Amino acid sequence: MSPAGGTVLAVLLSLVSAAGYALAAVAQSRLAASAGAGRGALRSLLARGQWWWAVGLNAAGALAHVAALHYGSLTLVQPLGALTLVAALPLGAYCARRRVTRTEWRGALWTLAGLVGLVAVTGPTAPGEALSLRESLVVAAATAALIAVLASPGGARGAARPGSRGLGHATASGIASGVASALTQTLTAALAFTLPGGAPAWWQTTLLAVLISAFAVGGLLLSQTAYRGGLAAPLAVVNLSNPAAAAVIGVALLGETFRAGAWGWAIAAAASLVAARGVVLLTKGGAAATPPGPGRPSPGTPPVAATHPDAPATPAPAGPLLPAVPAPVVSVPAGRAPGAEQPRTPIASS
């Protein structure tokens, strides 16, 4: 295939991947809103066919992404994958029967610009480079501890605010998926007998496969939990933390560096601030666009004081108070009831 044909195919596969991830995120968000919380939430999701459709869409998006990387470069495919957020916003708003707010569009553009900036200065891993088995185990243990902190009730400080409750789970989901990608590269090297440190034993290869499955499934379940607090902001955090985790592993353990030297670090820091600004806008826009639910008054409705059922009713004033006017005193003859009709006296004719 010619280079131009490969580029076109990579772009098409990237768009298919972004559409699959966006549809899966919208489906997960709606299912998370209807499933509720508690121990029975996961059981109810596993019993619903729509959730398995969402899992299938996630898998299809991942396969299309891998195929796109086969035909195109990382610098081309990764920014196109960030279109997942742009596609999910109108899809989620259409399903919720509302319009995308201006704040949400601004947040999506800021997040997309920051993500593209991060990907642009991150160099791809050279072919054949992978984590050793010892490094893989250390990364897996450190990631599990970090996910436990982020997913704990006190890990996400904004859990009490609407729209930001799932950011801790979204960060944990993205980190889990990024580590799963790094471990997948290590497993590929192990199966090709090119793993640093020599060919691994069968149980070591099996251990890598189990770790990859655990982080992949954990990332999916964490994202499902994150979408209880909304769609746009958690999805943006997932898309940001995934490549960020892979970049940290590459720089710390695989000898990667940011492009442009010291300027690359400055660009990465600026891109992170831009993306963080986008997430804040998405959080505000999602909270403002949330319709009032049952038992929740709409904005502008005056509060109603709660009354006890046994409390005496207090009549409301009917109008302005007027000064009291004394009633006239009418004298009634004895033996006649008040209000009784008096007999008429005939008029003598002259």
How far does Cα 216 stand from its chain's mean position?
18
Pull the structure tokens for residue 56: 């299938």
pLDDT of res. 144: 95
pLDDT of res. 304: 44
| Phi, psi dihedral angles at 258 (to 5 degrees) | -75, 145
Compute, in degrees rounded to 10, the torsion defined by CA atoms 316, 322, 324, 329.
Answer: -110
Is the pLDDT at 275 greater than 80? The verdict is: yes
Pull the structure tokens for residue 180: 């799963």
Q: pLDDT tens digits, residue range 299-345?
A: 444 444 444 444 444 444 444 444 444 445 444 455 454 444 455 54
Least confident span in 25-29, 130-134, 219-223, 295-299: 295-299
pLDDT band at 170 (very low <50, low <70, confident <90, very high): very high
Count of beta carbons in the 10 Å neighbourhood of residue 331: 4
Q: How far apart are CA 59 and CA 275, in angstroms?
A: 26
Is the pLDDT at 215 greater than 90? The verdict is: yes
Burial group, residue 90, by CB count within 10 angstroms (0-12, 13-18, 19+) = middle
pLDDT of res. 311: 47
Mean pLDDT of the chain: 76
pLDDT of res. 303: 44
Least confident span in 63-72, 118-127, 336-345: 336-345
pLDDT of res. 243: 81
Is the pLDDT at 95 greater than 70? The verdict is: yes
Count of beta carbons in the 10 Å neighbourhood of residue 81: 23
HEC secondary structure over the chain: CCHHHHHHHHHHHHHHHHHHHHHHHHHHHHHHHHHCCCCHHHHHHHCCHHHHHHHHHHHHHHHHHHHHHHHCCHHHHHHHHCHHHHHHHHHHHHHCCCCCCHHHHHHHHHHHHHHHHHHHCECCCCCCCCCCHHHHHHHHHHHHHHHHHHHCCCCCHHHHCCCCCCHHHHHHHHHHHHHHHHHHHHHHHHHCCCCCCCCCCHHHHHHHHHHHHHHHHHHHHHHHHHHHHCCHHHHHHHHHHHHHHHHHHHHHHCCCCECCCHHHHHHHHHHHHHHHHHHHHHHHHHHHCCCCCCCCCCCCCCCCCCCCCCCCCCCCCCCCCCCCCCCCCCCCCCCCCCCCCCCCCCCCCC
Q: Which residue has the tokens 């709409």?
A: 298
pLDDT of res. 75: 61
Is the pLDDT at 287 greater than 60? The verdict is: yes
pLDDT of res. 306: 43
pLDDT of res. 140: 95
pLDDT band at 2 (very low <50, low <70, confident <90, very high): confident
Burial group, residue 250, by CB count within 10 angstroms (0-12, 13-18, 19+) = buried
Q: Which residue has the tokens 């259409």?
A: 94
| CB proximity list for 158: less than 8 A, separation 6 or greater | 164, 165, 167, 168, 283
Is the pLDDT at 24 greater than 50? The verdict is: yes
Q: Average pLDDT for residues 1-18, to the nearest whole number? A: 85
pLDDT of res. 136: 92
pTM of the predicted structure, to 2 decimals: 0.72
Q: pLDDT tens digits, residue range 222-258?
A: 998 888 878 888 999 998 888 888 878 888 887 777 7
What are the residues facing 122 on neighbouring strands? Answer: 258
pLDDT of res. 151: 86
